[in-house]
């Protein structure tokens, strides 16, 4: 099956909740128009009557064409964004929400932080972790980033278990309730590292450090490091439970370990100097092979971020290993972000 492209907007510290409302209204208007004309061959039967089921079928065909749109507004605008997405329910399988960050503890005295439960309450499906601005401006360490990733993985495993225990082996009940948070882990080198030729080693080290809670690929490594890199203690005991058949029969269909890597070279972020698509492809292929060889993660995508615009999206999306984009500056205008999306989906 062809992988879904991911077109994500990171608003960073821009836009009040009122501005996000106006933005999303304008974006959905364009999306509706686009879905009406997209894949017209499939939806001709419904074209005239304009019924709800017709419009759902159109958005379904747009979704099946294979791109998911993700918005990461500031925390203060998540509620508003959630409301507008709900109002445009026919696109709920296409348009998702992400938080720009999340903390690794579930509650407590952590002034200024936000928990996984809090972002989940606004139906966030994704959380951006380890963005270079968090790493370099706010001094987030590799250790903290690893803890955040691990917290999300454990959270997913826990709700999976709770739901499995309550679903009476009913697939519908099960999948209706289950919604995991997918981390969007940002990695990427600075200019000095790129110039020194060490970008690949640097990114590999960032991946290793952040992903140490994911299952290591059992085909590589020594017996000791296979064990060390297995799921964290909590997730490990849940997995044993599952393997012994204590969790509902549908657990294996659920992707608690889904992951997005955003390769964002720091020298390309906000500078207007995007990576050459060929160089991007090389790094994306490297990340693909690195994860496949070293980790047992079945569902991952590798997206690119760093001065993505309407002008370079076509060249980037032509590359085999670039599964999508994370867009900062060019996502702030709904027309420009919409153009990026429509170019990508028409590829
Ligand atoms: P940019 O930002 O598109 O403005 O370069 C990308 C990002 O930081 O995610």
Q: Determine the distance separating the centroid of ligand 1 and the alpha carbon of 19, expressed in angstroms.
A: 19
How far is the C-alpha of 108 from the C-alpha of 170, rounded, in Å? 36
Q: Where are the domains of the chain?
A: 5-138+183-196+257-346
Query: Regarding predicted confidence, which is higher, 92 or 127?
Result: 127
Q: Which CATH class is domain 5-138+183-196+257-346?
A: alpha beta
Q: Is 13 helix (H, G, I), strand (E, B) or coil?
A: coil
Cβ 325 vs Cβ 305: under 8 Å: yes
Region 189-198: mean pLDDT is 96
Region 287-293: mean pLDDT is 95
Atom of ligand 1 nearest to the CA of 330: 3
Region 315-321: mean pLDDT is 95
Q: Determine the distance separating the centroid of ligand 1 and the alpha carbon of 266, expressed in angstroms.
A: 9
Which letter does DSSP use for residue 253 in this model?
G
Q: Determine the distance separating the centroid of ligand 1 and the alpha carbon of 165, expressed in angstroms.
A: 41
User: What pLDDT, on the 0 to 100 scale, is given for residue 70?
Assistant: 98
Q: Which residues form the pocket of ligand 1, taking CB atoms under 6 Å from any ligand atom?
A: 10, 264, 269-270, 305-308, 326-330
User: What pLDDT, on the 0 to 100 scale, is given for residue 3?
Assistant: 80
Confidence label for 43 from pLDDT (cuts 50, 70 and 90): very low
Q: Determine the distance separating the centroid of ligand 1 and the alpha carbon of 307, expressed in angstroms.
A: 6
Q: Is the pLDDT of residue 19 over 50?
A: yes
Nearest CA to ligand 1 atom 9: 328
Region 256-285: mean pLDDT is 94
How far is the C-alpha of 108 from the C-alpha of 45, rounded, in Å? 55
Q: Is the pLDDT of residue 306 over 80?
A: yes
Query: Regarding predicted confidence, which is higher, 211 or 237?
Result: 211
- The residues annotated as belonging to the active site are 131, 264
| Of residues 27, 34, 30, 26, the one with CA closest to residue 63 | 34
Which letter does DSSP use for residue 295 in this model?
B
Q: Determine the distance separating the centroid of ligand 1 and the alpha carbon of 143, expressed in angstroms.
A: 24
Atom of ligand 1 nearest to the CA of 305: 6
Q: Please give the structure tokens belonging to residue 30.
A: 């364009």
Q: Is the pLDDT of residue 177 over 70?
A: no
Q: Helices 142-166 and 233-243 sit at what angle, rounded to 10 degrees?
A: 30
Average pLDDT of the chain to the nearest whole number: 84
pLDDT digits (tens, 9 = 90+) for 215-258: 887 665 555 544 444 444 344 444 444 444 443 333 334 467 78
User: What pLDDT, on the 0 to 100 scale, is given for residue 243?
Assistant: 43
The count of other CB atoms within 10 Å of the CB of residue 188 is 28
Atom of ligand 1 nearest to the CA of 274: 5
Q: Is the pLDDT of residue 55 over 80?
A: no
Nearest CA to ligand 1 atom 1: 328
Phi, psi values for residue 304, rounded to 5°: -110, 140
User: What is the pTM assigned to this prediction?
Assistant: 0.84
User: Which residue of 269, 272, 304, 332 sits with most ligand 1 atoms within 8 Å of its CB, as the best mutation to test the pocket?
Assistant: 269
Region 298-315: mean pLDDT is 95
User: What pLDDT, on the 0 to 100 scale, is given for residue 337?
Assistant: 98
Region 97-125: mean pLDDT is 96
Q: Please give the structure tokens belonging to residue 234.
A: 């909590």
pLDDT digits (tens, 9 = 90+) for 123-167: 999 999 999 999 999 999 999 999 999 999 999 988 877 767 776
User: Which residue of 268, 328, 331, 336 sits with most ligand 1 atoms within 8 Å of its CB, as the best mutation to test the pocket?
Assistant: 328
Q: Determine the distance separating the centroid of ligand 1 and the alpha carbon of 41, expressed in angstroms.
A: 36
């Amino acid at each position: 099956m062809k992988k879904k492209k991911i077109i994500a907007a990171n608003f960073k510290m821009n836009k009040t909740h009122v501005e996000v409302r106006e933005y999303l209204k304008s974006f959905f208007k364009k999306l509706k128009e686009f879905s009406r004309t997209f894949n017209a061959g499939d939806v001709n039967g419904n074209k005239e009557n304009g019924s709800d089921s017709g419009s759902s079928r159109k958005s379904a065909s747009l979704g099946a064409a294979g791109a998911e749109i993700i918005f990461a507004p500031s925390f203060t605008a998540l509620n508003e964004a959630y409301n507008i997405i709900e109002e445009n329910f026919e696109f709920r399988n296409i348009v998702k929400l992400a938080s720009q960050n999340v903390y690794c503890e579930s509650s407590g005295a952590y002034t200024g932080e936000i928990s996984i439960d809090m972002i989940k309450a606004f139906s966030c499906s994704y959380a951006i972790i380890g963005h270079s601005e968090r790493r370099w401006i706010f001094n987030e360490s590799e250790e903290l980033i690893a803890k955040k990733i691990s917290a999300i993985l454990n959270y997913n495993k826990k709700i999976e278990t709770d739901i499995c225990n309550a679903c009476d082996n009913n697939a519908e009940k099960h999948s209706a309730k289950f919604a995991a948070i997918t981390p969007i882990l940002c990695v990427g080198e600075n200019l000095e590292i790129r110039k020194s030729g060490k970008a690949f080693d640097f990114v590999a080290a960032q991946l290793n450090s952040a992903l140490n809670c994911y299952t290591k690929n059992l085909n590589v490594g020594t017996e000791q490091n296979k064990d060390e890199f297995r799921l964290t203690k909590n997730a490990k005991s849940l997995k044993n439970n599952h393997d012994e058949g204590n969790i509902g029969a549908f657990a294996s269909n659920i992707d608690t370990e889904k992951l997005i890597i955003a390769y964002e070279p720091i020298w390309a972020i906000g500078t207007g100097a995007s990576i050459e698509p060929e160089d991007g492809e090389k790094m994306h292929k490297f990340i693909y092979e690195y994860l496949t060889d070293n980790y047992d993660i079945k569902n991952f995508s590798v997206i690119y971020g760093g001065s993505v615009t309407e002008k370079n999206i076509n060249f980037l999306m032509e590359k085999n290993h670039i599964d999508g984009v994370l867009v900062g500056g060019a996502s702030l205008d709904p027309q420009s972000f919409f153009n990026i999306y429509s170019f990508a989906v028409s590829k």
